[in-house]
């Protein structure tokens, strides 16, 4: 049983699917069930993975620049939705009776909704009983800047009163390389926990060999083989309208020869007024696309990507060696700026701040990257190798229970 804490997460779902399909490849007969609040449950069902859909929660911005969780669709209070999610998770666990429980990101889950299940493990250990199921913790790596993790995450996420979440898991995996983030050195977390952590490197929904040929993407969208693609995916958070304004004006200036095609992916939860304002654009070289859950083939076909700084996006950019201008989301956490700062050491990646963005700077960086040769991909993130490692470790651990 795999638990994803996501409120409505699209990125979390893609990463979870990569992990689970990587495991399933090694053991096709295994029964896998995921519980999550994702808005794209069909991506799991399409791969033969059952999902228990939890009621969705969303993050909303407050006037004081803080954020709050609220129900996305239901009119109940957050506490009522949280209680409903807790009960669904507990009943699912009791009926499914998993041999292995995998928890992603937050030890105790969204609003501590996994605590009732993990308490059973705590009681078993406290009473020196035989453990009835193995537990696995998975982190994407960079959760926030080291400063914020030390002051916030360590206290609020790791600890549940007298219960230390770091001791509730048999296996700990970091989906990152140690040079990018080191939990012991950068976050200064519990030494015993850090020593048990295994760094598996980045994971992507597809391996390099599984990528669709760029020409097939061009044919699908009716783009001539000799023309190039600029791909845009900016999510739904504040700041997107300014970036779009600058982007569209710049595109018209640099596309005099009509050699570029601008493909703009529309987030399903983007403000409809923003969509209405820009989608009327009559330039035949600009296409607004419905949301695509998995962007990796589009990224591989693009000559330039303009996007945010999420884990999946950066991993896919690095896998395909695609040139990119990244606008990390700033304000909610320091996670994306920290990740993009690390990634921008790659000469194909440029970090721009949306709050200080000027058309002059944006145009300069865009032209600079478009003239730059793409080069051959150097990274080869392999979800099947990762899945094999996790499954082998689980088998060894389960034999010890």
What are the residues facing 304 on neighbouring strands?
A: 230
Predicted confidence band of residue 9 (pLDDT cuts 50, 70, 90): low
Write out the H or E segment, with its range, that includes residue 262. strand 260-265
What is the 8-class DSSP label of residue 296? Answer: H
Which two tokens mark 61? 């911005």
Distance CA 156, CA 174 (A): 20
Give pTM, 2 decimals. 0.92
DSSP conformation letters of 145-157? -HHHIIIIIHHHT
Closest CA relative to residue 334, chosen from 182, 197, 126, 152? 152
Which one is predicted more confidently, 272 or 135? 135
Q: For residue range 74-94, what is the model confidence (pLDDT) as tens digits?
A: 999 999 999 999 999 999 999
What percentage of the chain has pLDDT greater than the value 90? 66
The CA distances from residue 285 to 41, 255, 276, 371, in Å, are 33, 9, 18, 19
Whole-angstrom Cα distance, residue 39 to residue 60?
Answer: 16
Q: Is the pLDDT of residue 259 over 70?
A: yes
Q: What is the pLDDT of residues 282-296, one digit of tens each?
A: 788 999 998 887 899
Comparing 241 with 254, the larger pLDDT belongs to 254
Give the pLDDT band (50/70/90) at residue 160: very low
Tens-digit pLDDT profile for residues 293-322: 789 999 999 999 999 999 999 999 999 999
- What is the pLDDT, as a whole number, of residue 157? 46
Q: What is the pLDDT of residues 108-140, one digit of tens each?
A: 898 889 999 999 988 998 899 988 999 999 999
**Domains of the chain as residue ranges with CATH:** 2-203+382-400 (3.40.50.2000), 208-371 (3.40.50.2000)
Rg of the chain taking only CA atoms, in angstroms: 22
CA angle, residues 178, 180, 181, in degrees to nearest 5:
65
Q: How far apart are CA 340 and CA 233, in angstroms?
A: 15
């Amino acid at each position: 049983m795999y638990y994803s804490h996501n409120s409505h997460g699209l990125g979390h779902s893609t990463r979870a699917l990569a992990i689970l399909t990587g495991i399933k490849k090694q053991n096709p007969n295994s029964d896998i069930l995921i519980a999550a609040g994702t808005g794209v449950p069909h991506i799991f069902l399409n791969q033969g993975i059952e999902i228990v859909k939890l009621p969705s929660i969303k993050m909303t911005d407050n006037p004081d620049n803080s954020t709050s969780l609220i129900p996305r669709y239901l009119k109940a209070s957050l506490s009522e939705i949280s209680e409903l999610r807790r009960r669904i998770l507990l009943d699912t666990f009791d009926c499914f009776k998993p041999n292995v429980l995998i928890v992603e990101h937050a030890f105790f889950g969204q609003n501590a909704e996994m605590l009732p299940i993990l308490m059973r493990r705590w009681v078993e250990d406290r009473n020196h009983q035989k453990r009835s199921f193995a537990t696995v913790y998975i982190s994407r790596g960079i959760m926030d800047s080291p400063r914020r993790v030390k002051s916030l995450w360590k206290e609020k996420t790791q600890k549940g009163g007298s219960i230390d979440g770091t001791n509730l898991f048999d296996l700990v995996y970091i989906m990152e390389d140690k040079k990018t983030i080191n939990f012991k050195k950068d976050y200064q977390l519990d030494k015993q926990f850090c020593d048990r952590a295994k760094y598996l490197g980045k994971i992507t929904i597809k391996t390099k060999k599984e990528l669709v040929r760029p020409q097939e993407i061009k044919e699908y969208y009716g783009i001539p083989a000799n023309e190039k693609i600029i791909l845009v995916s900016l999510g739904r958070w504040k700041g997107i309208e300014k970036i779009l304004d600058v982007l569209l004006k710049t595109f018209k200036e640099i596309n005099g020869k009509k050699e570029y095609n601008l493909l703009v992916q529309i987030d399903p939860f983007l403000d409809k007024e923003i969509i209405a304002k820009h989608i009327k654009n009559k330039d035949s070289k600009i296409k607004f696309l419905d949301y695509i859950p998995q962007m990796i083939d589009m990224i591989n076909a693009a000559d330039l990507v303009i996007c945010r700084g999420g884990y999946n996006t950066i991993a896919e950019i690095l896998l395909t060696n695609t040139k990119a201008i990244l606008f990390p989301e700033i304000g909610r956490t320091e996670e994306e700026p920290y990740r993009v700062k690390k990634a921008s050491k790659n000469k194909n990646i440029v970090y721009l701040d949306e709050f200080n963005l000027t058309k002059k700077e944006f145009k300069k960086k865009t032209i600079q990257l478009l003239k730059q040769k793409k080069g051959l991909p150097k990274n080869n993130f392999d979800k099947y190798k990762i899945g094999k490692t996790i499954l082998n470790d689980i088998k060894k651990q389960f034999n010890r229970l």
